[in-house]
Chains A and B, each alone.
Chain A
Amino acid sequence: MLEVRDVAAGYGKAQALWGLSLTVSVGEIVTIVGPNGAGKSTLVNVIGGLQPAWQGSIDLDGVELTNLATHRVCASGVAVVPEGRRVFPEMSVSDNLDMGAYHREARRHRDETYAEVCEIFPRLAERAQQLAGSLSGGEQQMLAIGRAMMSRPKLLLLDEPSLGLAPVIVEAIFDVIREINKTGTSILLVEQNVVEGLELAHRGYVLEEGRIVREGPAADLLDDKELQASYFGM
């Protein structure tokens, strides 16, 4: 479904991604792990249209996303849950969710999707009128995911959703990701939390210094002795 081919990108003169290719199939959860500064967020930003690709192509169900104007990417079926959540702090929870349903197709199904999101995150429904900036970190993460779901994406991009959250909240968030995936949404998850991230996934990639160095079924990566030594601290 998602095909990233030979993508390079960076900031100014600093190149962060070097000819990177990956795929996500329909209904799949794919996790990308790697150390800080490996280019994980850059990858999310490039696929989500927040940052241009210097070369290569990104294609979702035959629709070319490469260097599409940022505001058109969402309507093509990609929704971002960015690093640091980035909810709109001075807007209410329900207005934040409405922003997720901004593009035309999503707006048409707004009420229906809103009900679905509230079912998954009852906490958001309780706090619908509260300002997003006054929510706890975990609630903001739920809101960021809810906002992305409001756009009815085919592919959900999640950038470090566990960052800065207590373990039990992380577990809850990961359960929700699994649940969303069961309804047919494909997931591309970027995580520093290597073990949990891969346990959730069908397949995984290991990113180092802007290049894919390993890929395979998530279970194989978890079993890999070499990766265990360098990443999992086992």
Chain B
Amino acid sequence: MTLYGQAIISGVLAGGLYAMMSLGVSLSWGVLKIINLAYFSFILLAGYGSYELATSHGWDPFVTVLAVVPVVVIVGALLQLFFEKVKIGEFESLLVTFGLLIMLESVARSIWSADFRRIPSTANPYASSSLKIGDFAFPTPQLSAFLTAIVIGLLMKYLLDRTYFGKAVRALAQDRDMARAFGVDHRRVAVILSGLAAATAAIAGVFIAMSQALFPGLAVEWFGIVFPVVILGGLGSTLGALGAGVVIGVAAAIASVAWGPSYAPLATFVILIATLLFRPEGLFTRKASV
């Protein structure tokens, strides 16, 4: 029983990280109608950036956020500016950003090789530390990632629900031309939103570097987590991504314990397919009958 209890805890904690990894794709696809696979490389490169600063420059892994996030935010905003310039369509964006992902993966490979890279334990005291409650362990990196995800989720929720910027974002997602007719500058909103999404991706990357080994192929492996979370959570839904992250995390963790780790993707994709069949708008979105 302890085994399953621990699996559920790990799954829930992983869910927060999954949500942060997925937020960029979800917002970009749901609101801006761009399927931006570059977020996978942002996560990866942020991870390597954090690894590099911690390993070679002795930064505390948490502190690397301060350097990594601004760089990724700028890159994310500039990329969106480029998309606005060329007026890219939904399908083209998938092709272009897939190309970009492959390119950035090669860049990562040429700098850090295809080998596993992990911040050495001397530079990363958090990897082996954890909060213990009774028989259960809450590893520091996963726990802090989860708490960060909740804070980000609530902040994003507030931003989207309460502010004019957030209303503009939702209006753009629902009827772009009408939003523009009432004064929403699509380019401005898109660039700011992309910057925020890139920041979240970068934070996810830092937490990944803190808790596991990095290799360039990770970016593509994440497809199997991020797309289920995005679809389950509902396109463009922040708290949906958080809920879906937890569902996917727990399902994968339980499948790993029950049948072995290789069954984890099976569990996630069964959930994904069932969702697409029975609730294609996502598990956590309320839908008006139009």
Contacts and interface: CB of A to CB of B under 8 A. Distances in A.
Do A and B interact? yes
A65 to B, nearest CB: 13
Given A90-B287, A134-B289, A71 B183 contact: yes
B19 interface: no
B75 interface: no
- Determine the interface band of chain B, counting residues with CB < 8 A from chain A: 20 to 34
A48 B171 CA distance: 18
Interface stretch (B162-170, B203-211, B242-250): B162-170
A151 B171 contact: no
A26 interface: no
Interface stretch (B173-181, B261-269, B270-278): B173-181
B288 interface: yes
B184 A102 contact: yes
A125 interface: no
B289 A102 contact: no
A99 B178 CA distance: 10
Interface string B146-168: 00000000000000000010011
Nearest to B166: A95
A71 B184 contact: yes
Contacts of B168: 99, 102
A151 B174 contact: no
Contact of B164 (A80, A102, A131): A102
Interface residues of A, number: 32
B182 A147 contact: yes
B174 A90 contact: yes
Contacts of A48: 181
Interface stretch (A81-89, A114-122, A186-194): A81-89
A151 B182 contact: yes
27 contacts: A50-B177, A70-B177, A71-B183, A71-B184, A73-B181, A74-B182, A74-B183, A86-B175, A88-B170, A88-B171, A88-B174, A89-B174, A90-B170, A90-B286, A98-B167, A99-B182, A100-B182, A102-B168, A102-B182, A102-B183, A102-B184, A103-B182, A103-B183, A133-B288, A134-B288, A134-B289, A151-B182
Interface of A: 48-50, 69-75, 79-80, 82, 86, 88-91, 95, 98-100, 102-103, 106-107, 131-134, 147, 151
Q: Which 8 A-B pairs have the closest CB atoms?
A: A133-B288, A103-B183, A131-B288, A70-B180, A133-B290, A74-B183, A102-B183, A88-B174
